[in-house]
Amino acid sequence: MRIVSISEDKNIEKRISITPEIAKKFLASGFEITLQENYGEHLGFKDNIYKDLGVKILQDEKLIFDGGDIITQVGLPSQEKLSHIKENQILVGSLNPYANNNLIKDLLKRKINLFSLELLPRITRAQSMDILSSQANLAGYKAVIESFANFEKAIPMMMTAAGTVPAAKVLVVGAGVAGLQAIATAKRMGAIVFATDVRMASKEQVESLGGKFLVVEGSENMETEGGYAKETSEDFKKKQEKLLEETLKKIDIVICTALIPGKKAPVIIHDKMIDKMQSGTIIYDLAAVQGGNTALTKVDEIIEKNGVKIMGERNILNKLPVSASSLFAKNIFNFVMNLYDDKDKKININLKDEIIEKTLIK
């Protein structure tokens, strides 16, 4: 079996799907690997490192795709590059089928097998393949670091002979994987942390990390069977707005992480809330690329209103590409090995396997 991968568009994606560590594992499992020239050089992984392991390096994308049974990528390649993929080949990655609907339809018409790992079910057996969790962990951590770097005051409480500097107050909106990591990181750096989420199951997790969970009066558990947040009622939204409006007046840094899979991000922080916030407050919006959790978020721009800075990047993981690639590549490896029938030495698309059935785009 042959696994291949070409370079991502480095202007928008610096992560890679096959690191030297994972290439070694695939080769030890009996796979052949072909990668594009300078595939990981921007991360310090020179071609010679791959070659010494037994990886084949080619320059031509068409030749690479022609020789592959399984293609692994971080994101969906461009339409031009996708034209080189042939019938019955397998493409595995974070394909974002909602945003790339037209390209996906074309690939399906051409009978290409597409596996998008953000569709993985939230079950124990899939945890080692879960790109949303592995990447969100890093995103939550980095969002806190970026916010603190732009905050013009100290984070922990400092007692000096000249007086006391109070600890910064941080609010995390959305206590999923990214939110929980943001809470843990902010606490480690000495901040006072508050958090809110529509899923009541998050309360215990937030408090175990030292955060204070803000409970909306009369709230119910807004969680899908798959463990994701679902859309709230209008009554809940009004109560949440009232609680947030009062809380935000005393907050220094806000980390927004609230997302609903496959839909536009919910707008949680409105104009009138921002108007009442303290000058110098930082809002970091991890939901920016899906529309943002604030009314003013713009991708890759810092918007300032009344002294409040609102930040949101297209891909914060481009600031941690080595760590992010290491985890992403391990997720890819574990997924491919679940597809691979070691006895018959071939790929088995077994639709009775929940992991395969849920991630296969139909």
Whether 234 is in a domain gets the answer: yes
pLDDT in the model for residue 229: 53
According to the model, what pLDDT value does residue 232 have?
Answer: 63
pLDDT at 198: 83
Domain that holds residue 109: 2-119+321-359
Shared-domain flag, residues 209 and 62: no
**Position 340 pLDDT exceeds 80:** yes
- Does some domain include residue 124? no
**Angle separating helix axes 177-188 and 131-150, nearest 10 degrees:** 40
DSSP string over 54-92: T-EEES-HHHHHHT-SEEE-SSPPPHHHHTT--TT-EEE
What pLDDT shows up at residue 215? 86
Domain co-membership, 200 together with 254: yes
> CATH number of the domain that 169 lies in?
3.40.50.720
Strand 2-5 and strand 70-72: pairing?
A: parallel
Q: Are both 92 and 188 inside the same structural domain?
A: no
- What SS3 state is found at 297? coil
Give the residue-averaged pLDDT of 30-41: 97
pLDDT digits 0-9 by tens, 125-138: 999 999 999 999 99
260 and 239 Cβ atoms separated by less than 8 Å: no
Measured in residues, the chain has a length of 362
Our count of domains for the chain comes to 2
Residue 44 and residue 11 share a domain: yes
- Say if 130 falls within a structural domain: no
Whether residue 248 contacts residue 277, with contact meaning beta carbons closer than 8 Å, is answered with yes
Q: What is the pLDDT of residue 238?
A: 82
Whole-number percent of the chain with pLDDT over 70: 95
Does residue 12 share a domain with residue 106? yes
What is the Cα–Cα distance from 183 to 229, expressed in whole angstroms?
18
- Quick one: what percent of the chain has pLDDT higher than 90? 85
Q: Tell me whether residue 128 is in a domain.
A: no
Query: Is 127 a domain residue?
Result: no
Structure confidence by residue, pLDDT tens digits, 135-191 = 999 999 999 999 999 999 999 999 999 999 999 999 999 999 999 999 999 999 999
Contacts of 103 (CB under 8 A, 6+ apart): 76, 79, 82
Q: Is 179 in the same domain as 36?
A: no
pLDDT(223) > 60: no
Exposed e or buried b per residue across 83-115, where buried means at least 16 C-beta atoms within 10 angstroms of its C-beta:
ebbeeebbbbbbbbbeebeebbeebeeeebbbb
Q: How distant, in Å, are the alpha carbons of 60, 99, 126, 219, 223 from that of 231?
A: 46, 19, 25, 13, 9
Q: Is residue 23 part of a domain?
A: yes
Determine the pLDDT at residue 218: 59
Are 93 and 200 in a shared domain? no
Q: What is the pLDDT of residue 246?
A: 94
- Mean pLDDT for the chain overall: 93
Helix (H) or strand (E) holding 164: strand 163-165
- Tokens linked to 33: 């690997």
- DSSP conformation letters of 36-57: ETTSBGGGTB-HHHHHHHT-EE
pLDDT in tens, 226-268: 555 555 677 777 888 899 999 999 999 999 999 887 678 999 9
Higher pLDDT, 247 or 96: 247
3 state SS of 159: strand
> Within this chain, do residues 143 and 63 fall inside the same structural domain, yes or no?
no
Are both 328 and 228 inside the same structural domain?
no
- Tens of pLDDT, residue by residue over 192-218, are 999 999 888 899 999 999 999 998 765
Read off the tokens for 249.
């007046």
pLDDT for residue 231: 59
Same domain, 55 and 149: no
Model confidence, pTM? 0.89
Distance CA 237, CA 269 (A): 11
In a domain? residue 277: yes
- Give the per-residue pLDDT at 221: 56
Give the separation between CA 151 and CA 245, rounded to whole angstroms.
Answer: 21
Catalytic residues: 122, 127, 130, 133, 228
Q: What confidence score (pLDDT) does residue 248 get?
A: 97
Same domain? 162 vs 288 = yes
- Cα separation, 161 vs 45, in Å, equals 50
d(CA 176, CA 145): 18
For the record, the structure tokens of 184 come out as: 């843990």
Closest C-alpha among 287, 215, 279 to residue 255: 287
Distance (Å, whole) CA 347 – CA 86: 16
Q: Taking the chain, what is the end-to-end CA distance rounded to the nearest angstrom?
A: 24
Q: Give the whole-angstrom CA distance, residue 257 versus residue 241.
A: 16
Quick check: is 41 in a domain?
A: yes
Judgement on whether residues 44 and 61 belong to the same structural domain of the protein: yes
